[in-house]
Structure 1
């Protein structure tokens, strides 16, 4: 038993480093650091080690074996067609998380993001990293790669702290409240609409958790289905019709919605995905100054294909259902805002931001205490 706990502890440590490297490795350093271009290679390496370690902690049931094989096979084929290592990295971490405790996972993610944000802000104050305002005066990154990256980090901190708040002592709750005031002020400075919306929604979910927790399951499913279907609808040409709902939404989201139509028109949806060209600058191919698919739901479908997306969304639905059956309602405080976040941010597709992808253990236990 002690050996098993030691192995899992190593996996938590690797997760901490993966998240920290993903943030600190992409900061806007004043002086170029050549080795930082290998930051994602390190993340993949740690994911591989974590996955291997998960096979030593306990015996593997037939159900787990089928789960593992499905993720490995589908992600491997998708990697071949898309040349995007993210799909395999996600699969490795989803498999690794079979042995994780939800509470300890959230704690690890929280402290990794807190450490990375604090370090970046110190570097910013000292002048080692520069601000990125994305060409506007109302957005700031304070040393991170992009204002939306700052928004993503703060959103994860806010969601995790809300989850931890429920399970914390009075003294810790007070500290978390103070931290959240600071997070919200910084979040407003980032101007990240998706992160702001998800974070504000969290407070509504938190109220429901204390008043009507039985409603959270239905709300979660409804929100997930709605944003998936609405994402598909957003690819229609009505986005160009003046006065239409999509056209108005496109204006609010600074042309992000019309990009859904552009990418669907240019690429369509394949079974095992495809390579997709993204550019932050002017593009003749897309007839736009900005060509990036921010919608996480559509990025899965268009970039990674039907097979991977089907596995991805079945996984999410299974987690949502199991959370309800185990009465782990506090998990919805993270899940529901993340489903909304996926409509406007591609961070939804990665375990580094979408930590619901690390809730795998819920699928293989009858009680969360089994993973404590």
Structure 2
């Protein structure tokens, strides 16, 4: 590895430190940072991070021919779809993935965990001391608190990401206390922020971690566990599309599922009927006013898979879905079974939220770089009981 590439290994760590810290701080209600308005500096920081990532990609990484072919083949439709959709989230995520060639993923997770933990505590401290306010909302008669973040769901999402990162860091030392922390975090998110998506995701994560430890303690081959996770991820993707294409009001059982999911599929179906599907994306406005008719339409896209399909088009949806599953298979083949489980967790998360393909919500999307760069990440996992769960 050349000195330039060696420098790139440290440069990307600097980028992630800067990015993860500002992501938390600027998702709070803080109005000014030093003498700048946070809204202004947030926009400027996005440009700075983009510039640093592009510098990493162009100046500090070397590529094999087949890597350039894959990157170019995926980048072109993403660029076109981003321009057509006027929505840059997928492009931002893809730049992070491409820039991740030389990262040590385990170190990045640990770094991000500690930086975001510190910044989250700072935001809550600023709220508790009255420096910043919180956004208070209601769900029925229940008060939803954000503790200094711009929305209660932001608080729930930050807690969710912190818990997942912590459990991944402690994967070789995971015990009943760690499992209890997941449950405690779920209760906190439900009681304080009343963020349903984060709550259900944390409960699902507790089940996934329990299954992971039980299968290890029983000596079950982890390939079997990973296969179940991969199949579940495929089902989440396929079911989202199929159910969103159907008129669920004709099927009582499916309608009951849709109601349980807060009518996400029927609302996506309604949005689909209005906009249709384009090959390379389109701009989706969730509030549409038709001047000639004098009618306002309110649409919802609270499903990640339909959000990708409608906003970015069929080609980007195909590439992202295939790469996601290929990454899971690649991780399974390299004995990174917990990472497979976490990607499955986020695939389930995508049923309930449209931002699971956002890097700020899903740091584990960086693992999509593994199959692109054919990283050697094979590790041996022993089937040794780490925790005894008593029911």
TM-score range relative to shorter protein: 0.7 to 0.9
Deviation track 1:290-326 (CA, whole Å, cap 9, x = no partner) reads x331111110001111121122112101110100111
2:87 aligned with 1:84: yes
Q: 2:132 corresponds to which residue?
A: 129
Q: 1:57 to 1:236 in 2, by over 3 A?
A: closer
Deviation at 1:58, TM superposition (A): 4.7
For residues 165 and 279 of structure 1, the distance between their equivalents in structure 2, rounded to whole angstroms, comes to 44
1:95-134 to 2 correspondence within 5 Å?
95-134=98-137
Q: 2:365 corresponds to which residue?
A: 357
Deviation track 1:258-291 (CA, whole Å, cap 9, x = no partner) reads 321221111111111110112599x9433x5xx3
Deviation at 1:159, TM superposition (A): 1.2
Answer whether contact 2:183 2:206 (CA < 8 A) is retained.
no
For residues 40 and 356 of structure 1, the distance between their equivalents in structure 2, rounded to whole angstroms, comes to 24
Secondary structure in structure 2 of the residue aligned to 1:60: coil
1:237-256 to 2 correspondence within 5 Å?
238-240=247-249, 244-256=252-264
Deviation at 1:180, TM superposition (A): 4.9
Q: 1:275 to 1:337 in 2, by over 3 A?
A: same
Q: 2:383 corresponds to which residue?
A: none
Higher share of residues assigned strand? 2
Q: 1:14 corresponds to which residue?
A: 15
For residues 21 and 282 of structure 2, the distance between their equivalents in structure 1, rounded to whole angstroms, comes to 29
1:301-340 to 2 correspondence within 5 Å?
301-340=309-348
Deviation at 1:146, TM superposition (A): 1.4
Q: 1:92 to 1:58 in 2, by over 3 A?
A: closer
Secondary structure in structure 1 of the residue aligned to 2:302: coil
- Of residues 257, 270, 284 in structure 1, which corresponds to 2:278? 270
Answer whether contact 1:162 1:333 (CA < 8 A) is retained.
no
Q: TM-score, normalised by structure 2?
A: 0.82
2:25 aligned with 1:24: yes
Q: 1:235 corresponds to which residue?
A: 244
- Of residues 165, 183, 186 in structure 1, which corresponds to 2:185? 183
1:219-230 to 2 correspondence within 5 Å?
219-230=228-239
RMSD in angstroms over aligned alpha carbons?
3.0
Secondary structure in structure 1 of the residue aligned to 2:137: coil
1:337-352 to 2 correspondence within 5 Å?
337-352=345-360
2:269 aligned with 1:261: yes
Secondary structure in structure 2 of the residue aligned to 1:52: helix
Q: 1:315 to 1:237 in 2, by over 3 A?
A: closer
Query: In terms of Rg, which structure is larger?
Result: 2
Answer whether contact 1:94 1:357 (CA < 8 A) is retained.
yes
Q: TM-score, normalised by structure 1?
A: 0.86
2:158 aligned with 1:153: yes
Q: 1:191 to 1:252 in 2, by over 3 A?
A: farther
For residues 364 and 161 of structure 2, the distance between their equivalents in structure 1, rounded to whole angstroms, comes to 11
For residues 178 and 125 of structure 2, the distance between their equivalents in structure 1, rounded to whole angstroms, comes to 20
Long gaps (5+) in structure 2: 380-391
Deviation track 1:219-265 (CA, whole Å, cap 9, x = no partner) reads 22221221112212332454445x82443344334443332122111
2:216 aligned with 1:208: no
Long gaps (5+) in structure 1: none
For residues 59 and 335 of structure 1, the distance between their equivalents in structure 2, rounded to whole angstroms, comes to 27
Answer whether contact 2:53 2:99 (CA < 8 A) is retained.
yes
For residues 100 and 81 of structure 2, the distance between their equivalents in structure 1, rounded to whole angstroms, comes to 21
For residues 152 and 187 of structure 1, the distance between their equivalents in structure 2, rounded to whole angstroms, comes to 9
